[in-house]
Structures are given as C-alpha cells and as structure tokens.
Structure 1
Amino acid sequence: MTNVSPLRGRLAVVTGAARGVGAATASALAHRGARVALLGREEATLAAVSEPLPGDVRCWEVDVTDDDAMARVAQDIRDRMGPPSVVVANAGIAEGGPFVTSDPVTWRRTVEVNLVGSAVTARVFLPALLDTRGFFLQIGSLACFGTSPLMSAYCASKAGVEAMTHALRAELAHRGVDVGIAYLNWTDTDMIHDADRHAVLRELRAHMPRPARRIYPVEVVAARLVGQIERRSATVYIPAWLRAVQVVRAALPPVVTWVSRRELPRLERESHLAATGPLGPGGHAARERGGSPAPRG
C-alpha cells in the first residue's frame, strides 16, 4: 500500500506565504502532491519560497485586506489553476506594548490584517470551495482564548477569527464545506525572533509556565497543519496540550490579571515598556494597506 495523500492534484491557496508558517505550510502541501497558490506582500520572497517546490506552484503579490485586489486574485487563480479545494488563511501580523500609549494606526492595522484579512480571504474563495466541497483553514493562536496584557490588538484579532471560524463552520456545514481552526503557540519564525528583541514581549514569554515558553520548529507545525487539512479536522492544537488549556479558558483572565498586577509594576520600574511596532519583516511589509495583485510562476 502506498501513502497517497488526498491532496494530490488538488489546488491549495495559502495567504501570508512569503515566510514563516505560511511558507512552511505551502512547502508541506506541495510535497504532499498539492498544487499551490502562494499569496503575500513580498514578491521576491514569494518567488524564493516557490522556486524549489515541486509541481505546479505559482505566486500572487496582494494585500489580503484589499477586497477588490483579492477578488481579482481569486478569479485569476481560478482562470489559471482552477478552483481551489483548500484555502489556508494564514496572513497575520503582531505588535506589542501598552495600550494607552499604542499607535492607533498600528493597532488598527494589526486587527485589519488578522481579522478583516481573514474575512476577505474567506469571502473571495468560498464560492470556489462551495464548488469543490473544500476545506477552509483559519490559522489561530493561543491568543484566541489565552489573552495577555501588552498584546491587546493581536489578542483581539485572534479572538475575532476564532469566533468567525465557528460561525462559518456552522453556516457552511450543510453545504459540504468544512471549516477548521489551528491553535498555535510560539513557533520558530521571524516574528518570534523579533519579539524576543523587545523587553516587553521577552518578559511576557518568560512569565508563562515553562511548557508554554517552548518554541516549536516551523516544519513540525506545518506538518501538523497539513495533517489537519488531509483529515479536514475542525481543530488542531500545536502543541497538543493546548487542548487542555481550552477546557479551562474561563479561568484564564483572572489568573492573568493576578499575575499582571504583581509583575507589571516591576517591569515598568526596570524597563521602558514601549510599543514594538509591527514585528518581523512580514509585519513591516504589511504595515500599510495597498499594492496591486501580481501573479508569478
């Protein structure tokens, strides 16, 4: 018997595919036999990701928050590659710092990319998924239910995508489209490397329980995500112990508040808790809205 993936020959679309989890997931999909459309903000980086991948892999440079541009890309993908069977809404950015002194433009942009961008992705690709009875995967985070201080925009946006995912799953179940969400913890990406450069986020991770501080290799995370896609699973937790945290999520806010009341005064005395701005090269690329869709490959 051969281990033939149900993804073989199917078309998968991945947003935020220029680096990190998106790039690794696109690679894992291609190596499982899927044809892949990579979407992102950095044309040269997308091309570098796609070049070594096997099979039919093509790129489109586009801003996921731009409704018109995303609609044109969705139609172009359908014309050039056919209707997708899988869509992975992975595009996202993060920033940290005290809410009171946060830059409102950066705060709003974080929510716009993470939440609105996921909604735009779903809106433009769902007609094709209805035709193929496909699978929509939303990349989430521990921040969907484990909110923390100094990360208000990121946590708000991830809580929003979790709620949207549950709503879409219920709305589309009778039409043959499955909708899943992946809850990820710290993953070895440029975003996390940049986060550790900032005292405000380095201290945040240091005060998490020891298992929650671990950073997971992006290739391991991508392999789990592709397994979820092949099974069309409603949820996946990476690492698996996050499922247990989900069960006690109602207890998290008072615990986080108790710890913060004790630790934040010390942090404020010892270091300047300044805003980080968008984290990593991907965050800087997505700082401003705009850009026209450009296909490659």
Structure 2
Amino acid sequence: MRTPRPAHPLSGRTVVVTGAARGVGEAVARALDARGAHLALLGLEGPRLRTVTGSLRGEAACWEVDVTDDEAMAETAREVRARLGPVSAVVANAGIAEGGPFADSDPALWRRVVEVNLIGSATTARCFLPDVLRTRGYYLQVASLAAMGASPFMSAYCASKAGVESFAHALRAELAHRGVAVGIAYLNWTDTDMIRDADRHTVLRELRAHMPPPARKVYPAAQVAEHLADAVERRRPSVYVPAWLRAVQPVRSFLPPLVTRVAGFELPRLERAAAFEETGPLGAGGRADTAFRAAG
C-alpha cells in the first residue's frame, strides 16, 4: 500500500507576487502554484495578469495596481486578505530598467526606475507586513548581480538594486525577533522581455558579451523561478541564481575597480562604432509602466 505524500509546505498558504504579469514574476507564480500556494498576483498589465491567473491550477486572483501607490497598495492588501486570507509570503519582484549614459538620461524615467524597484518594494513590504507578522511569514526581495557590481549605462537599475539589498538587510534585522524571515534573491541574466530588449541595443549587448563566459549566460525564467520558489518554501535568507553568484560576495569590493578598468578599454572602442544613446524603458513591462502612468 502506497503511503500518502505529506501536504506541500506551501499548500493552502497565500503568497503575493508583484510584477506577476510576465517574466520572472509570472514564472514564480507558476512555480508556487505547482506547490499548492494560493496566489495574489499584482502588476500593471491587467489583461496579461488575468490570463496568467486563469491558467493556474489552484486558487488565485489578480490586482492591477502600481506598487509605488501607497493608498492603492494598502487597499489591495485589504482585498487580498478578504479574498484569499492572511498572507504568509511576499515575493517583491516588480521592477523596470532603462539604459544609456547618465548625463543624457531622462530625469523622470531615471527617477521612475528607482521608484518602482526600491520605493515599490518598500511599499509592498509596508502594506503586507501586518499579515506577514501575524503569520510569522516570509518576505523575499528580488535583487540582482547589479546590487554587487554596478555596470555603466545602467545607473538607475544598479542603484535601485543596491538599495533593495540594503533595505532587505535592514528589514531582516528588524523582524527576526518577531519570527519573520527576510530573503534576498540575487539573479544574473534571465530570459525575459527586459533582457531581450537590452540585447537590441549595441552597447548593452557588447557590455554583456565582454563579461566572463559564466557571467554572460542567460538562464530560462522557469529555471530561475524554481529556485525562488524553493527559497519561499524553505524561508532562505538568500538565494543565488546561478549558484556561483554566491562566490562573488566575498570579493565584491573588487568588482567596481574591475568594471571601471574594463570599461576604460571597451567604451572608447564601442563609442567609435555607435553613439551611446538612451534606450528608454526596457522590455514590454517597462513600456507598460509608461503607458499606465500616461493613462492615469
């Protein structure tokens, strides 16, 4: 007689995922759905969010909301609680990016990248903390290799990811004694609209091409999502995708001078081949953010 398998640790627990309409957020939602979680999917692209929600096997609902809007997020948190019950975990994944020389950057777009990636994460944490405290739950902040080693032409994105890393460390120290775990996900290149769009721009594509072979590899979103779902399930303080990123932590202080040295050799050559220009918002998610704000 076969012994019944025990229920999955996430089965029946409510998990919030921001930026869930596409990319890593969508993939994480699917990975968590496969583990029996009840899902609250947040993002700006209503039709895509509804499509993703409808394709999941378990209980799920979605909310079209700007993660930087304090009042809208607070109302969404109340609605999530009423619809799906107290939240046990949050995956703060929503993020956008732009590229190009800082001196020529659009101040409004540069600021918006920081607002979505950093302020949006803080707003997400603030609005769902009452539930997470009640459930003694888990908050996972999606960061990046960019938090450890900044890249030229990605100043807003790098600044915002360094910011969310520090924010998560501070939040962890504040909440540990209350039974809440806080994790940080360090991701390298992931196959999303944002990365595919970045590769259309010569300078960004060439900069990635000059990274060491392991560092330039692009990983499938579904593979990355499984690692993030494992982190949620096991309440990990950190998760690195790929795993070798963990080895960067002890030597991260060497990265800025190394990047500066490589850039000193490569940027003059690239500038002779093509002018450095602003990319505008990268990927469909970035363009959706611009459209959402224009419509509002």
What TM-score do you get using the length of structure 2 for normalisation? 0.96
Deviation at 1:246, TM superposition (A): 1.4
Indicate yes or no: 2:113 matched with 1:99. no
1:47 corresponding residue in structure 2 = 50
Indicate yes or no: 2:178 matched with 1:175. yes
Indicate yes or no: 2:20 matched with 1:21. no
Whichever structure has more helix as a proportion of its residues is 2
Structure-2 separation of matches of 1:289 and 1:246: 37
1:195 corresponding residue in structure 2 = 198
Structure-1 separation of matches of 2:280 and 2:6: 45
Cα pair distance change 1:153/1:163, threshold 3 Å: same
Cα pair distance change 1:288/1:158, threshold 3 Å: farther
120, 123, 126: which one pairs with 2:126? Answer: 123
1:209 corresponding residue in structure 2 = 212
Contact 1:109 1:288 in 2 (8 A): no
Structure-2 separation of matches of 1:227 and 1:101: 41
For the residue of structure 1 that corresponds to 2:240, the secondary structure is strand
Please list every run of at least 4 consecutive aligned residues from structure 1 whose deviation after the TM superposition is greater than 4 angstroms.
288-292
Comparing 2-11 with 123-132, greater Cα deviation is found at 2-11
Contact 1:199 1:271 in 2 (8 A): yes
Structure-1 separation of matches of 2:288 and 2:218: 24
Structure-2 separation of matches of 1:290 and 1:246: 37
Contact 1:180 1:232 in 2 (8 A): yes
- Over aligned residues, Cα RMSD in angstroms? 1.5
Deviation at 1:58, TM superposition (A): 0.4
Structure-2 separation of matches of 1:164 and 1:224: 22
Matched residue type, 1:138: Q
Structure-2 separation of matches of 1:178 and 1:170: 9
1:37 corresponding residue in structure 2 = 40
Contact 2:43 2:49 in 1 (8 A): yes
Indicate yes or no: 2:248 matched with 1:284. no
2:59 corresponding residue in structure 1 = 56
Deviation at 1:262, TM superposition (A): 1.1
Indicate yes or no: 2:230 matched with 1:227. yes
Structure-1 separation of matches of 2:247 and 2:207: 21
Contact 2:44 2:292 in 1 (8 A): no
2:146 corresponding residue in structure 1 = 143
Contact 1:114 1:158 in 2 (8 A): yes
Structure-2 separation of matches of 1:171 and 1:97: 36
Contact 2:99 2:154 in 1 (8 A): yes
Deviation at 1:51, TM superposition (A): 1.1
1:245 corresponding residue in structure 2 = 248
Structure-2 separation of matches of 1:104 and 1:186: 26
Number of equivalenced pairs = 293
Matched residue type, 1:223: E
Cα pair distance change 1:122/1:289, threshold 3 Å: farther
Contact 2:88 2:138 in 1 (8 A): yes
Contact 1:62 1:291 in 2 (8 A): no
What TM-score do you get using the length of structure 1 for normalisation? 0.96
Structure-1 separation of matches of 2:188 and 2:172: 23
Matched residue type, 2:123: V
Deviation at 1:288, TM superposition (A): 6.2
For the residue of structure 2 that corresponds to 1:250, the secondary structure is helix
Structure-2 separation of matches of 1:289 and 1:247: 40
Structure-2 separation of matches of 1:44 and 1:250: 43
Contact 1:65 1:117 in 2 (8 A): yes
Deviation at 1:81, TM superposition (A): 1.3
Structure-1 separation of matches of 2:113 and 2:136: 31
Deviation at 1:3, TM superposition (A): 5.7
Indicate yes or no: 2:128 matched with 1:89. no
Cα pair distance change 1:289/1:52, threshold 3 Å: closer
